[in-house]
Structure 1
Amino acid sequence: MTEAAARYRAHVAAVWAAQPADGAHDLGHLARVWTNARLIALDEPEVDWPVLEAAVWLHDLINLPKNSPDRARASRLSADAATEFLARDGFAPEKLPAVAHAIAAHSFSAQITPETIEARILQDADRLEALGAIGLARMFLISGRMGGGIVDMDDPMAQNRPLDDKSFALDHLEVKLLGLPATMQTRTGRLMAEERAEWMMSFRTRLLAEIS
């Protein structure tokens, strides 16, 4: 970890200390997104590494619950808070807009098109956290926190009912997660996403076999 990343991490930890704990968006999440981002960036030319590093570590600085009415504004709020902190921290002023855009555009709910390579990498790296084994762990954690169950035992694949991922965690695969690979902005991110989505479908097959 670079000295700058250590400062970013410490600042996030301090801000989050005053917010409700969120196991799906913790320091481990930031570290994993940074790992994903570095893997993706190796295949992308002209990456501004200081911009990418700052955007990754600060992208969830303002972390709102999934069911918050202001959830769609969280990434913009994080972008504003991050640029304020970075300005005090001595970050290059001319690069602050690039950091702010990458953070604002990373969110699925914000619906902002990423216009820079750093923004595309961060969006992909963050969405990879919703896929694979870690994606399933986070999915069930969030569903349980919001009062949802694992699966509708009467109709687990929603063949005779509308999909309802607020009530049943497994529905979230079809509602959102299995569609994420098609939204990836980079070739490497898409390949990683497709592999993780395939694993999730294998898990669902096994789960359905166990409960049938």
Structure 2
Amino acid sequence: METDTQLAAVQQFTKARMADDETGHGYDHIQRVVNNVKQLLAKETGADQLVTISAAYLHDVTDDKLVEDVNAATDELTNFLKETHFSEDQVAEILEIIANMSFSKSLNGQNAKPLPIEGQLVQDADRLDAIGAIGIARAIYFGGHFGEKLYDPEIAPRVEMTKADYRDLSNETIINHFYEKLLKLKDRMNTNAAKEIATGRQKTMLEFLDNFKDEWDGIQ
């Protein structure tokens, strides 16, 4: 099967599963991550483009915060990739990337496997969409969807978290999420190209937080 035909099938598979998402992980997010990874691929050498772009499309379809049954979603994805003529090695690499690239895998008690260059590029592309102006909007959208409190100066950002802590939104505010995760991503980018983009987006978030707290405190 031609690579373009495989990517078109992957795109449609993802769109069918993510189009109705209301958490900030919908198909618009997927498209931006794919666009990001294509930009990174143009600057980084040595990556399998089919695996990288496919993993970018598929990185959220088995995410445990978005699907009810991770095992069933993984089985469905595995069968789809095999039917779409991905090799056994390509299937294994795509599944390994999407299982080990999330921020939660870096938290206490987690043992993420080292990512190949393809996974590093997808991780960078996904993290770039979590920061900057889009990242600000997505953080508010996600928090609002789950009924998070916008801000409470009496609630300090959490420093040490397990995955269970991270998933527990009852003890988090939307603004604290910037300190608990989003502002950390710039220094966790894998590639030089992503680090350069992240620097500007970090500045956007810091300016937003400064302005937000000034307005919260009534400072003109």
**Distance of aligned partners of 1:147 and 1:172 in 2 relative to their CA distance in 1, 3 Å threshold:** same
**Distance of aligned partners of 1:102 and 1:78 in 2 relative to their CA distance in 1, 3 Å threshold:** farther
Contact 2:47–2:118 (8 Å) recurs in 1: yes
Deviation of 1:104 after TM superposition, in Å, equals: 1.6
- Say which of 10, 13, 21 aligns to 1:11: 13
Deviation of 1:106 after TM superposition, in Å, equals: 1.8
Deviation of 1:194 after TM superposition, in Å, equals: 2.1
Matches within 5 A, 1:23-172: 23-65=23-65, 80-111=75-106, 112-152=112-152, 155=153, 161-163=155-157, 166-172=171-177
**Distance of aligned partners of 1:120 and 1:167 in 2 relative to their CA distance in 1, 3 Å threshold:** closer
- In the alignment of these two chains, the number of paired residues is 198
Q: Percent identity?
A: 28
Answer with 38-47 or 92-101: which moved more: 92-101
Ranges in structure 2 where 5+ consecutive residues have no aligned partner: 107-111, 159-168
Question: Counterparts of 2:208 and 2:65 in 1: how far apart (Å)?
Answer: 27
TM-score (norm 2): 0.79
Contact 2:7–2:50 (8 Å) recurs in 1: no
**Distance of aligned partners of 1:8 and 1:210 in 2 relative to their CA distance in 1, 3 Å threshold:** same
The root-mean-square deviation of aligned C-alpha atoms, in Å, is 2.6
Contact 2:6–2:84 (8 Å) recurs in 1: no
Does the residue aligned with 1:110 lie in a helix, a strand or coil? helix
**Distance of aligned partners of 1:105 and 1:80 in 2 relative to their CA distance in 1, 3 Å threshold:** farther
Does the residue aligned with 1:109 lie in a helix, a strand or coil? helix
Question: Counterparts of 1:116 and 1:92 in 2: how far apart (Å)?
Answer: 17
Deviation of 1:131 after TM superposition, in Å, equals: 0.2
CA deviations 1:36-82 (Å, max 9, x no partner) are: 1111122211111011111111111124437x9x8xx95x8765543
Deviation of 1:175 after TM superposition, in Å, equals: 1.3
Contact 1:33–1:126 (8 Å) recurs in 2: yes
CA deviations 1:10-40 (Å, max 9, x no partner) are: 11233347xx732411111111001111111
Deviation of 1:162 after TM superposition, in Å, equals: 2.4
Q: Which amino acid aligns with 1:183?
A: R
Answer with 56-65 or 198-207: which moved more: 56-65
TM-score (norm 1): 0.81
**1:184 and 2:186 equivalent?**
no
Contact 1:40–1:189 (8 Å) recurs in 2: yes
